[in-house]
Structure 1
Amino acid sequence: MSLKRPTTMFAFFLLSVSILSGFAFQDFAYAETGMEVSVNADEGSTTISVSGHTSVGNNDITIRIQAPNGNIISAYQVSPNADGDFMKDVQIGGKLWSQDGMYTIRVQQGSSSLYSFNLQAEVNGGTTVTTSVSESTLEAGFTAGVGPIIGGKAATGLTIEADAVEGSITITINGHTDRSGAITIQVISPNGNRVDLAQVMPDADGDFTAEFRTDSPLWNQDGDYTINVQQGSGSAYQDSVAVLVVDGAVIPEFGTIAALILAVAIISIIAVSARTKLSIMPKY
């Protein structure tokens, strides 16, 4: 019995699985979301150390100290470093710290309180009681990224994709963000001029969408139009995607989906050729 045909078909099967796997898993990335805060103090000290880590490195962190009677007695603002870490040593003393009891350290990030924590440290007789408390909402793992259909790039905090049918005069921008606030979308022509502008708000789930039409005289230049999306001032909340427009109509690029279809088609042709014993080279 000849094993040549099953062996050949099995080899083609493995090849197809390898190619499809490469496309299927390319958008998975290691991601981290959330924030953690720690408050530490030694017995009899006059220093309360506030430290932590955040997954959003472009927003300042506000630290407010509330006395046992409910009054805010001090406030600080710190910026996380490139790794998302931050620290602030709070010095106690004076009339504002004259009450004995639990002082609340409120730590918040972002104007919309993206992350917020309340931890406590005890002060007695003008010095601290031994304190070591922490809270965390950090989550990490492998997540499937949102890949753009036409161009684009992944971004931390905000992602977009451009959706359009070949020959269409409508470009739909779909995106997602992990915080609230207005989102500005600009369209830049191939020569660098701004041809369109929109501002949208994300819904309760952080999703947003906007549509642009290419049948305006401002879109009369052939080439790549860059769509820039930004929320706030941080680089973690901006993304862009390029869309090719020719004669006022969208021309999709040869992306992942098209490549996947082509790969499957090629494998199918090879498999049929092997099964019917077709040969590219003539036999002599």
Structure 2
Amino acid sequence: MKAAAIAAIALAAVMLSSIGAVPSYAQLQDPITLSADKEEPYAAGETVTVTGQVARSLQGAIAVLVSAPNGNRAFVDQVTLGDDNTFEFSFTAGGPQWMEAGTYTIKATYGPTAERAVSGTATIEFTGGAPAPAPEPEPEPEPASPVDPVLAGIEFDIVGGEVVSIAPGTGAPSILITINAEEDGMITLTIPRSILDSRTEGQEGDDVPFSVLVNDEIADATEDSTPTTRTLVIEFSAGDGQVIEVIGSFIIPEFGAVAVVVLAAAIVAIVAIGSRSRLGIMPRY
């Protein structure tokens, strides 16, 4: 009887010791393995990509925490485990929490509860500082206006083509509009009266319609007017290098001055050429 009691006590002691030796759930699991996409230090603004793997699938998401060398949180996130027990996440090395250079610790924790969770860590090196600000793009230069500076103030709107140039005409008070047209279209010209006008007596008198030529052929135009402007709508056919001429009774006075200068220069050139010609044929004695 006494021997049986001693045996029972010994068996109970063995059972109790075995119960106390059962490892926790976390101890039964392999830790999470983590690896960054490179071993070299990361500079401010670079993207860090981390891959990980767990031994078996559990419940819940994977919590990610990146700590700075001073212990501050630099990045926090949650990721989902894939069907193959792997996961991946990315973050940018930079920002207010990334000013300090040194070793940053990445920790991933996975499990349904804190008592049954597994974790793993990895480290990366960071050079510190904020990324250099991106240079501001230089503004694109505005396209040069096709309107001659002397005619500044003339506005246009074209459908079906593009305006190559708007320049003063020669001879009659007129302007020349050169266009390239991919298809039949129209151009609307708004002309200040101070630049070009069409009246019964030059710059005075009643309004009369402008004369409009398209490639030296008479063309119709729809006109509208205000006390300060004349507006014309002119239709054209497809074709490149077309010239529209709008002829009035008055053109900005500067054109007259320019014409005088050009004429004077031409006369001087003609006289000079004539003088050289006469000198060349004079007999020599």
TM-score, normalised on structure 1? 0.32
Q: Which has the higher contact order (CA 8 A, sep 6+)?
A: 1
TM-score, normalised on structure 2? 0.32
Structure with larger Rg: 2
